[in-house]
Amino acid sequence: SDLQKQEERGELLQPLIFVLLVLCSILLYFKVSLMDPGFVKPDEEEGEDKGQGVVILQLPGDIKLRRCGYCLVKQPMRAKHCQQCQHCVRRYDHHCPWLENCVGERNHPLFIVYLSVQLVVLLWGGHVAWSGLYFEQSWEWLQHNIFLLVSFLLILIFTIVVLLLLVSHLYLISCNTTTWEFMSHHRISYLQHSQLENPFDQGIILNLWRFFC
């Protein structure tokens, strides 16, 4: 049959990989959106954060960890209370409206993987949509290709958004800072009183290693 011939020629491999990437993207979406991003539990001690000892030594001695004014837990360094989730989140980055969940210490690496897979899917889909277009200056052509043209434009917009989001996050990770710390540097006490502009920065290689590994 035609299907067997296509399989023998390897023509079914690319569509299969594309479908698997789409499924992987969907699974990653649900994983990141449903998992605990690093909620601070009431019974946790303030000094329990991994890798914070070196950082705290670089900060002025008069900066003390405080209790959250909303949920009253001892707030570790770099944690922030999220009004939407009603929890304090360790190494809080931001609350993502698309995920309906915070991006924090536990799910931030998976969030980067999700964005990467999503970007590959969008680039592949954009290539497929573009390859199906052949341009003619006629109303009949527009009627027959309007759906494909709109699909390509939407894919292009989403690709630019995801690419910018991924690049910005990778830059912040390489500096060992978060979106919240980058945007609110002037309002965060442990950054305001620090002698260093970014007391958590340990070099690009070590920052990436500690984040992903």
pLDDT tens by residue, 56-85: 444 445 556 678 888 888 888 899 999 999
> Which secondary-structure segment (H or E) carries 101?
strand 101-103
For residue 70, the model assigns a pLDDT of: 87
Kindly state whether residue 134 falls inside one of the protein's structural domains: yes
Choose among 172, 182, 179, 183: nearest CA to 207.
172
The Cα–Cα gap between 163 and 130 comes to 19
Q: Which residue has the higher pLDDT, 103 or 75?
A: 103
Do the beta carbons of residue 120 and residue 21 sit within 8 Å? yes
Kindly state whether residue 47 falls inside one of the protein's structural domains: no
How many domains would you assign to the chain?
1
Kindly state whether residue 177 falls inside one of the protein's structural domains: yes
96 is catalytic: yes
Amino acid type, 200: F
Which is catalytic among the residues 85, 96, 102, 213?
96
Residue 46: phi and psi, rounded to 5, are -70, -20
Q: Any idea what DSSP says for residue 187?
A: G
pTM of the model: 0.82
Kindly state whether residue 46 falls inside one of the protein's structural domains: no
For residue 46, the model assigns a pLDDT of: 44
For residue 53, the model assigns a pLDDT of: 39
Mean pLDDT of the chain: 84
CA-atom Rg of the chain in angstroms: 23
Is 45 a residue whose pLDDT tops 60? Answer: no
Kindly state whether residue 10 falls inside one of the protein's structural domains: yes
Q: Which residues pair with 80 in a beta bridge?
A: 89
Tell me how far CA of residue 94 lies from CA of 16, 66, 85, in angstroms.
34, 20, 11
Residue 76: phi and psi, rounded to 5, are -65, 165
> Which secondary-structure segment (H or E) carries 96?
strand 94-96
Kindly give the pairing relationship between strand 94-96 and strand 101-103: antiparallel
Kindly state whether residue 21 falls inside one of the protein's structural domains: yes
Condensed to tens digits (0 to 9), the pLDDT of residues 192-211 reads 877 788 889 999 999 999 99
Distance of CA 172 to the CA centre of its chain: 11
For residue 21, the model assigns a pLDDT of: 95
Kindly state whether residue 42 falls inside one of the protein's structural domains: no
Choose among 210, 148, 147, 135: nearest CA to 176.
210
Task: Supply the range of the domain harboring residue 21.
Answer: 2-37+106-212
Distance of CA 90 to the CA centre of its chain: 15
Average pLDDT value for residue range 3-19: 71
For residue 26, the model assigns a pLDDT of: 96
In percent, how much of the chain has pLDDT > 90? 55
For residue 58, the model assigns a pLDDT of: 47
Kindly state whether residue 80 falls inside one of the protein's structural domains: no
